Amino acid sequence: MITALGRWILRHFILLADLTRLIVAAFQDMLATFRHGRRPVFRVFLKQVYFTGMQAFKVIAVISLILGAVIITQIISLVGTGNESLIGRVTVWVVVRELGPLLTAIIVIARSGGAIATELGGMRINGEIESIESLGISTGHYLIMPRILGVATAVVILTIYFEIISILGGFTVAAIGWHMPFDPFFEAVFSSLTLNELAVSGAKSLCFGLFLTAACCREGLQVGKSLTEIPQAATSGVMHSLFLVFALDGILTLATLL
């Protein structure tokens, strides 16, 4: 039991170290882009932002709207009407601190995480990665770095949209259902939205974006020569990403409370 637990911890520690190395290499490669490959690498980056960010926007908008309505309904059922200031503050705490970054990352993992692992795994099996390397182009620079930074950028932007739509959606439901006035609610929302709250939300979404993509890229690149390894890589990438997102959320939340 203890041995198995130790092995599990060690395995995940190695995974985390591997992913950190991949992310650090991505930032180093970003600097190398000033020397060569600016146009094609930027094209891959933009494609990634489009596929992960733009195409996921509708899903994010609908989910955040529904979630905002659910959250405010629960808060009102707990604290009652007439306490707009508290309702506004709790909404910010729940949405901005916690659910915004977390749920956005989970949606991105579901939409793009598996796709990235599958795409890279397919490229590996078809010999395309070797073909790119044969052109003197580094895989890390051309394939991995723009994906990691592209998804991280998309996650940060989607989180902002998630939070705005969620708060607006919640208020709309409360205004229609319980005739909540605009001014006291948004006064409470803006007074709770301190720089610290925004920084925590931004840091969480950035970390989630970086690590979830690194995990999926790592799994995709580890595909060998068999087609059956591609779905395995996708599943593994998604599971590792989910684990990392929850683990990082816990760590970052604890760190901000200390």
Partner 1 sequence: MIEMLKADHIAVVGKFEDISFAAVHGELLVLLTPKEEINSTLTRLLLGATKPDRGDLTLFGRDIGSLPHSELLKIRQRIGVVFAGGGLVSNLKVWENLTLPLDYHSTLSSAVIEERGLATLQRVGYKGRLMDLPGHLSLYQRRQIGLGRAMLTDPDLMIFESPSQGLNQDERQAFIEVARSFHDGKPGRASLFLTSNPAMAELLQDARVVNLHKRQAT
Q: Show the beta-strand stretches assigned E in 100-258.
A: none
Beta carbon of residue 127, minimum distance to partner 1 (angstroms, whole number) = 7
Among 39, 58, 179, 225, binds partner 1 (CB under 8 A): 39
**CB of residue 228 to partner 1, shortest distance in Å:** 19
Q: Which of residues 68-97 bind partner 1 (CB under 8 A)?
A: none
Selected from 142, 162, 185, 208, the binder of partner 1 by CB under 8 A is 142
Query: Shortest distance, CB of residue 225 to partner 1, whole angstroms?
Result: 13
SS3 225: coil
CA pair distance 158, 124, nearest whole angstrom? 30
Among 133, 191, 198, 224, indicate the residue that binds partner 1 (CB under 8 A). Answer: 133
DSSP 19-81: HHHHHHHHHHHHHHTTTS-HHHHHHHHHHHHIIIIITTHHHHHHHHHHHHHHHHHHHHHHH-T
Taking CB under 8 A as the rule, does residue 119 contact partner 1? yes
Among 223, 253, 25, which residue's Cα sits nearest to residue 141?
25
Question: Closest separation between CB of residue 132 and partner 1, Å?
Answer: 6
Tally of helices (H runs) and strands (E runs) in the chain:
12, 0
19, 22, 29, 37: which one binds partner 1 (CB under 8 A):
37
Contact predicate 68/170, CB 8 Å: yes
Residue showing tokens 């993992």: 109
Which one of 2, 31, 135, 254 is in contact with partner 1 (CB under 8 A)? 135
Residue 130 engages partner 1 in binding (rule: CB under 8 A):
yes
Which chain residues interact with partner 1 by CB under 8 A?
36-37, 39-41, 43, 119, 122-123, 126-128, 130-138, 142
